[in-house]
Amino acid sequence: MAQQKSFSSNLGAIMAAVGSAVGLGNIWRFPYICGKYGGGAFLLVYLCFVFLLGSVLMMSEFVIGRRSQHTPIKAFQTLYPKHKAWGLVGALGIVTSFFILSQYLVISGWTTGYVWHSVSGVLSSLGTDSAAISSFFTEFSTSPWTPVLFLGVFSLIVLIVILGGVQKGIENVSKVLMPLLVLLVLVLCVRSLTLPGAGKGVEYLFSPDFSKLTGEGVLAALGQALFSLSVGMGVMIVYGSYIPAGDNIFKTAMWITGCDTLIAILSGLAIFPAVFSCGFEPTGGPGLVFLVLPNVFNSMGAASVVFASLFFLLLMVAAITSAISLLEALTAWICDHTQIRRWVGAVLFFVLTTALGVMFSMSIGSLSHIKITGLTLFDFVDRLNSIYLPPLCALGTIIFFGWVMPEEDIKDELSNHGTLRLGYYKLLRFMARYVAPLALLVVLISGIIS
Ligand code: PHE
């Protein structure tokens, strides 16, 4: 057994995994992707993917991690030693985590910058002038050095928490600050829903118009479901290996899926009413949250600075707990394969992902002339990270879980060696063997063709 680390309690494990799942994916990414692909219809497809695929994948990653007590590559090889090639699925996960973290740092840097600009009062000085808020965002995100500076600050914080160790660092931070974030999103919902013309936003989110749904939208919903739940990249295999032996994997996965989805929907409720009320377009793209929320805060009068600062700070914390899980997965992986010290591994991946993140960040501004297949570096890696790599890795994982890994091992692990009842097992097995792989295959192929 290479790893003896584990979270200290069931709550700790849940909170840390919720910390990984809840992040920019819910609050920054979900609203803009949902807006881009048509609102309500997208939401429905997204929910199907989350519950039919995402939760099944999460359970399978937890089982693979806890059963093997290893990180992605070795996990597959330990559970099925006959064909070491299954380790390739794990390798794909590691590569995906690496690229996702590099890109994640860019948006986290923006968030960190917005904390600074909220506290210093710059953001509130823009008032509710949508044009001024837009040009502030464009100037900020495309300027050559400012976002890079904040990106660096953010990565450094992540590194420091990682070096603090699994329990102390990840668990304690998650336990306290996640509930606070939810509270603040709720406050935002109330504010947003009471803005004039808010009803249009609610309608946009909840009344599906299927004529707006495209094949690309379906693929994007899948990508978003995987991204938001942190599955399809091996991270939950690593966290699975930290789940205490007595924990109920099914319940843990269900809690995480539920919390993550709730927060995404609440974010939608906080953003879309304001989008319509303030005259923005729901298709505004990656800047959506950074354009709309300052407007909402600045309509809150004297308290705007406090609310904006607190919100961006908590969003930053949510991003930290997600980034931690990615850096933790990479660090744990290299420690599982080499003799290097944990801190050396962490610093190594910190340096590599930060450097790549800086390039992605600059590709939005000063390096925007560099294109791969007609896309800027940032857009290119965004495609890779949302519609190609995670679904592919997810497909490998679910086929392994459904068809390759010995069934007795799965049952033994899910039931904690026969002590828990597995009333859901038949359904899970059916989903894992047929529904999930087929759906992934169809969506992947149609996405690649289109
Ligand atoms: N799920 C995180 C979010 O929603 C992002 C993430 C993806 C974290 C993959 C870890 C692994 O922000």
- The domain that holds 399 is classified in CATH as 1.10.4160
The pLDDT tens digits for 263-285 are 999 999 999 999 999 888 898 88
Residue 373 is part of which domain span?
A: 10-449
The pLDDT tens digits for 90-134 are 999 999 999 999 999 999 999 999 999 999 999 999 988 889 999
Predicted confidence at residue 301, as pLDDT, reads 81
Q: Among 159-163, 367-371, 376-380, where is mean pLDDT lowest?
A: 159-163
Rounded distance from Cα 390 to ligand 1 centre (Å): 11
List residues bridging with 372 in a β-sheet: 375
Mean pLDDT, residues 400-425: 97
Is 378 part of any domain?
Answer: yes
20 lines ligand 1 (CB under 6 A): yes
Query: How many domains in the chain?
Result: 1
Is 4 part of any domain?
Answer: no
Is 220 part of any domain?
Answer: yes
24 lines ligand 1 (CB under 6 A): yes
CA distances from 245 to 10, 118, 145 (A): 10, 44, 47
Q: Whose CA is nearest to atom 4 of ligand 1?
A: 25
What is the C-alpha separation between 368 and 50, in angstroms, rounded?
A: 34
235 lines ligand 1 (CB under 6 A): yes
Task: Give the torsion sign (CA, 346, 349, 352, 357).
Answer: negative
Give the relative orientation of helices 199-206 and 249-277 as an angle to the nearest 10 degrees.
140
Is 1 part of any domain?
Answer: no
Enter the tokens of residue 166: 């699994």
Q: Is the pLDDT of residue 4 over 50?
A: no
Answer yes or no: pTM beyond 0.85: yes
Confidence of residue 166 (pLDDT cuts 50, 70, 90): low
DSSP codes of every residue in 267-283: HHHHHHHHHHHTT--TT
Is 2 part of any domain?
Answer: no
Predicted confidence at residue 41, as pLDDT, reads 96
The pLDDT tens digits for 24-49 are 999 999 999 999 998 999 999 999 99
Rounded distance from Cα 325 to ligand 1 centre (Å): 8
Give the rounded percent of residues in the chain with a pLDDT score beyond 70.
97
Is 288 part of any domain?
Answer: yes
Rounded distance from Cα 20 to ligand 1 centre (Å): 6
326 lines ligand 1 (CB under 6 A): yes
Predicted confidence at residue 307, as pLDDT, reads 87
Rounded distance from Cα 315 to ligand 1 centre (Å): 13
Burial of 96 (0-12, 13-18, 19+ CB in 10 A): buried
The pLDDT tens digits for 295-315 are 888 888 888 899 899 889 989
Residues whose CB is less than 8 angstroms from the CB of residue 160 and which lie 6 or more positions away in sequence, other chains included: none
Phi, psi of 188 (to 5 degrees): -60, -40
Neighbours of 333 (CB within 10 A): 27
What would you measure as the largest C-alpha separation in the chain, in angstroms? 66
Is 346 part of any domain?
Answer: yes
